[in-house]
Structure 1
């Protein structure tokens, strides 16, 4: 299952895993990335739920930004290799 999901999300994961530069990975980094991915996704969905009916379309900008950032963190944290997680945090 993980291999199939990695193949689906390869356009997101490949740029983070492509380099041959040395990196410094800490297992806690993955846990923090998953936690913040979940928090950002929750905040995006909460903001979508709180938008009043018939509101200005500008209200949806934070919803899109928070939800996409959270989902990106969850995808990299759950499916990415150690190098991808280290690159998200900027560890070299």
Structure 2
């Protein structure tokens, strides 16, 4: 029974990773005629660590989409990166050293 649970959880993790990498930067879904916009920037910022690891195995994948709308894509990308990796620590309660 325990092996079955581990197998099911493993399949769920693999499935979730496959869904997350569906719109990874550099996959060819964004062209000069259809550049990545603000919401694509947010998505690419959220999945930046996955894009980084994927880029090790596929030279065409990137962390940042080259074909983008400019400033609005950058705003979405950096907002997602900051909120996902650094913003959480700004709102955590810091425990005192006496605790």
TM over 0.5: no
Max Rg structure: 2
* TM-score for both structures, normalised by structure 2: 0.31
Bigger relative contact order, structure 1 or 2 (CA pairs below 8 A, ≥6 apart): 1
Considering fraction of residues, name the structure with more helix: 1
